[in-house]
């Protein structure tokens, strides 16, 4: 009987140790996931700070930014930050409609290898025109370089949309102005952009490259010139 009780006690102790150990592990894992969530939120906030234009940018354009449909944004070079930030594609993309740097958030412009580009997924397409050192305040729908993009009729069937993609890739010339989906960065230069993201947005924007920081990132000041009806696409 004594041996039986001794064995029973040993088994009970082992079971208790296992239960306590399991409870401890469960509690520790719960604490760890809570800590991970907290660190993820801290990282998100730090990345937002890293992506934000500097306070002096806001000060410089304070009066302009009081107008509706205007804003400031930063583009990070894709080749440098793609694998370093948690935001998809490393903050190299920007949306003038959502004011987000996430590739997944209706991105309309991107920066890679000192080139600005547009039209990124599916049948989406766009055109950018470099118009020189023109003050952002003076660019409107009456600007000659804007008119072609403002009058562009967006295709509603996929083959025609793909044709626009090809034209965007090759570039087209209207008068003396060239429109293309990928253009070199000109610091201090102004641009006009028409971005067509089927099912999400169709927007005409003017923007000015304020400066390029030491890490290659760009500060853009921008204004929407026109927002078009939501484009739909029919696939044969």
Q: Are residues 100 and 6 in the same domain?
A: no
Given a cut of 60, whether residue 57 has pLDDT beyond it is yes
User: Can you tell me whether residue 175 is helix, strand or coil?
Assistant: coil
The answer to whether residue 135 is domain-embedded is yes
Task: Name the pLDDT band for 64 (thresholds 50, 70, 90).
Answer: very high
Q: Are residues 111 and 198 in the same domain?
A: yes
Q: Are residues 161 and 79 in the same domain?
A: yes
129 is written with which tokens? Answer: 């025109």
DSSP H/E element including 127: strand 125-132
Question: For the chain, what is the mean pLDDT?
Answer: 89
Q: Are residues 30 and 82 in the same domain?
A: no
Given a cut of 90, whether residue 19 has pLDDT beyond it is no
Given a cut of 80, whether residue 84 has pLDDT beyond it is yes
Least Cα distance to 178 among 187, 168, 165 occurs for 168
What is the reported pLDDT for 27? 64
Q: Looking at 36-50, 136-150, 191-205, which range is the least confident one?
A: 36-50
Task: Name the pLDDT band for 4 (thresholds 50, 70, 90).
Answer: very low
Average pLDDT over residues 111-138: 96
Buried/exposed 154-186: b ≥16 CB within 10 Å, e otherwise = bbeeeeebeebbeebeeeeeeeebebbbbbebe
Give the integer Cα–Cα distance in Å for 75 and 58: 16
Into how many domains does the chain fold? 2
Task: Name the pLDDT band for 236 (thresholds 50, 70, 90).
Answer: confident
Task: Name the pLDDT band for 15 (thresholds 50, 70, 90).
Answer: very low
Q: Are residues 86 and 161 in the same domain?
A: yes
Q: Looking at 21-30, 43-52, 164-173, 177-186, which range is the least confident one?
A: 21-30
Residue span of the structural domain in which 59 resides = 54-227
What is the reported pLDDT for 14? 45
Task: Name the pLDDT band for 166 (thresholds 50, 70, 90).
Answer: very high
Q: Identify the domain boundary among 51, 67, 85.
A: 51
Least Cα distance to 127 among 184, 73, 171, 77 occurs for 171
The answer to whether residue 58 is domain-embedded is yes
Let me know: does 94 contact 109? Beta carbons within 8 Å.
yes
């Amino acid at each position: 009987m004594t041996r039986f009780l001794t064995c029973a006690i040993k088994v009970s102790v082992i079971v208790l140790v296992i239960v306590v150990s399991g409870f401890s592990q469960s509690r520790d894992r719960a604490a760890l996931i809570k800590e991970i969530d907290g660190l993820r939120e801290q990282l998100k906030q730090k990345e937002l700070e890293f992506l934000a234009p500097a306070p002096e940018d806001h000060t410089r354009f304070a009066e302009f930014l009081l107008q509706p449909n205007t804003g400031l944004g930063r583009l990070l070079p894709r080749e440098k930050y793609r694998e370093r930030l948690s935001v998809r594609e490393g903050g190299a993309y920007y949306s003038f409609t959502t004011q987000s740097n996430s590739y997944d958030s209706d991105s309309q412009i991107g920066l890679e290898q000192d080139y600005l580009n547009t039209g990124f997924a599916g049948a989406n397409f766009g055109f950018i025109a470099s118009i020189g050192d023109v003050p952002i305040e003076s660019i409107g729908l009456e600007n000659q370089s804007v008119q072609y993009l403002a009058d562009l009729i967006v295709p509603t069937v996929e083959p025609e949309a793909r044709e626009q993609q090809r034209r965007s890739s090759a570039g087209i010339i209207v008068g003396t102005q060239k429109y293309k989906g990928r253009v070199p960065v000109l610091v201090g230069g102004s641009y006009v952009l028409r971005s067509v993201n089927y099912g999400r947005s169709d927007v005409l924007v003017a923007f000015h490259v304020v400066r390029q920081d030491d890490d290659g990132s760009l500060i853009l000041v921008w204004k929407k010139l026109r927002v078009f009806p939501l484009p739909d696409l029919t696939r044969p």
